[in-house]
Amino acid sequence: MDRLHDRLAARFTLSDDEAAYFHQAGGRDDLLPVRITDYYLTLMGDSPEDPIRRQAVPRVQELERREYELSDPLGEHRFKATDRMIHRYRDRVVLLVTDSCAMYCRHCFRRSFSGRRFGPVSDPDVEAACAYLAAHPEVTEVILSGGDPLTLPIGRLHSLLTSLRSARPEVVFRVGTRIPVVEPAAVSDALVDVLATAAPLWVVAQFNHPRELTPASTAAVSALVAAGIPVVNHTVLLRGVNDSVETLEALCHALVRRRVKPYYLFQGDLARGTAHFRVPLRRGLDLVRSLRRRISGLAMPTYAVDLPGGGGKIPLTESYLLGERDGFYRFAGPDGDTYTYPVEADGEP
Ligand SMILES: *Cc1c(COP(=O)(O)O)cnc(C)c1O
Ligand code: SF4
């Protein structure tokens, strides 16, 4: 048994499902590694159903495979621009800067990359990325992802951002990271400085539950915002973690109060071994409809799914438009009543 298993077992009694994972996964190297920060461990409750614990402690269901699950759930292979770069949408690219994360989230959809010893980007990787960016002026946004880019040594992150910036002075950077959530103390003044210097740069965090908004994570996010770094949030809709209107409402309010804009709420991707986290899409739509009635537009994330096979990200919305009749669009208002709006609003026939 490894040290993490002992650390967990010292803290609480492992459930049968959790213990079975450690028992069956031992020695396999084709799985998402198990890694939990000491900080995140302190947030966990005693129940195996605790929403924090579910995100971090593996359970045996992770070893199950559904026949529709995929090792490349987003079909990203088709859009490889360089070894480390995905260019799926015209104006933005994703650069996988490292496979390493401070903690491995059990629901991770990049699990065939994350924690698989690809290591951090090499100098030739960075050169290839810079050359690609220089040759593709249509790219206006570079999304640093992984793995978690903020696990790179600060000097390495700084030189990476500096190289990309000199290849394309005007691009916008976006950094996807869970560091503020799982290891907020790592958001040091020096790190904030490196990110602020690379402006314009946006940080995309991944808070999935209101209990993750602690004084420590609040301080991390506040330091970023105070340095002029806009912070938005991705939430993954996760069964047993945040699949209730009350939880999502509390999460979105807590984020906005900390000046973090809820950006996306993701329907679970079809990554292998994540079936126990997925919420039926129909239920997701119901949740989002109720949520929209309870929170402001500012607090409302866009519910979205990344279509399997490389279809891309699409917003999942119910249509309020009922149809068109006698020169009027007919809409269902939030109160359930029907309202109309003229088809030719400018009065011309
Ligand atoms: C999600 C994603 C993006 C960014 O999409 P936005 O809708 O702009 O947030 C870009 N490239 C890839 C490959 C993605 O998966
Ligand atoms: S931080 Fe992101 S990439 Fe890393 S394990 Fe969690 S979801 Fe996956």
How far is C-alpha 7 from the geometric centre of its chain's CA atoms? 27
Residues 345 and 349: their CA atoms lie apart, in Å, by 9
Closest to 66 measured CA to CA, from 317, 276, 322, 304: 276
**Longest CA–CA separation in the chain, Å:** 76
Using the mean position of ligand 2's atoms as its centre, give its distance from the Cα of residue 103 in Å. 7
Please choose, from the candidates 186, 174, 167, 25, the residue with its C-alpha nearest in 3D space to the C-alpha of residue 102.
Answer: 186
Cα–Cα distance measured from residue 317 to residue 324, given in angstroms and rounded to the nearest whole number = 19
Query: Is 73 within 8 Å of 308 (Cβ atoms)?
Result: yes
pLDDT number for residue 290: 94
Helices within the chain (DSSP H only)? 3-11, 16-25, 38-43, 51-56, 123-135, 154-167, 179-182, 189-197, 215-226, 245-257, 281-294
User: The whole model's pTM is what?
Assistant: 0.95
The single-letter code of the amino acid at 101 is C
Length of the chain: 349
Residue nearest to atom 5 of ligand 2 (CA): 104
145 lines ligand 2 (CB under 6 A): no
| Nearest by Cα to 69 from 107, 34, 105, 96 | 107
Pairing of the two strands 92-98 and 85-89: antiparallel
Nearest-atom index, ligand 1, CA of 86 = 13
Q: What is the mean pLDDT of each run of 10 residues along the chain (349 residues)?
A: 80 94 90 95 95 97 91 86 95 97 96 90 96 98 97 97 98 98 98 98 98 98 98 98 98 98 96 95 95 96 92 89 93 90 75
Considering Cα of 245, then 250, then 254, then 257, what sign does the dihedral take?
positive
Output the pLDDT for position 1. Answer: 45
Closest CA to 203 of 274, 259, 249, 132: 259
Which tokens is 164 given? 């990309």
- CA distances in angstroms from 341 to 262, 297, 331, 346, listed in the order given: 30, 21, 8, 11
pLDDT at position 318: 79
DSSP states along 147-178: S-GGGS-HHHHHHHHHHHHHH-TTPEEEEE--
84 lines ligand 2 (CB under 6 A): no
* pLDDT of res. 348: 60
The pLDDT value recorded for residue 191 is: 98
Q: Which residues are catalytic?
A: 88-89, 92, 101, 105, 108, 110, 269, 306, 313
Give the C-alpha separation, 301 to 234, whole Å.
Answer: 8
Q: Which residues line ligand 1 (CB under 6 A)?
A: 86, 88-89, 92, 94, 143, 313
pLDDT at position 200, please?
98
**pLDDT given at position 57:** 97
306, amino acid identity:
D
Cβ–ligand 2 contact at 100 (below 6 Å): no
Q: CA-CA distance, 78 to 309, in Å (whole number)?
A: 9
Token readout for 198 is: 């690379």
Six-digit token string for 323? 């149809």
From ligand 1's centre to the CA of 134, what distance in Å? Answer: 20
Could you tell me the distance, in angstroms and rounded to a whole number, from the CA of residue 47 to the centre of ligand 2? 23
List phi, psi (to 5°) of 148.
Answer: -115, 110
Task: For residue range 227-263, list pLDDT tens digits in order.
Answer: 999 999 999 999 999 999 999 999 999 999 999 999 9
Q: What is the distance in angstroms between the CA of the first residue and the CA of the last residue of the chain?
A: 76
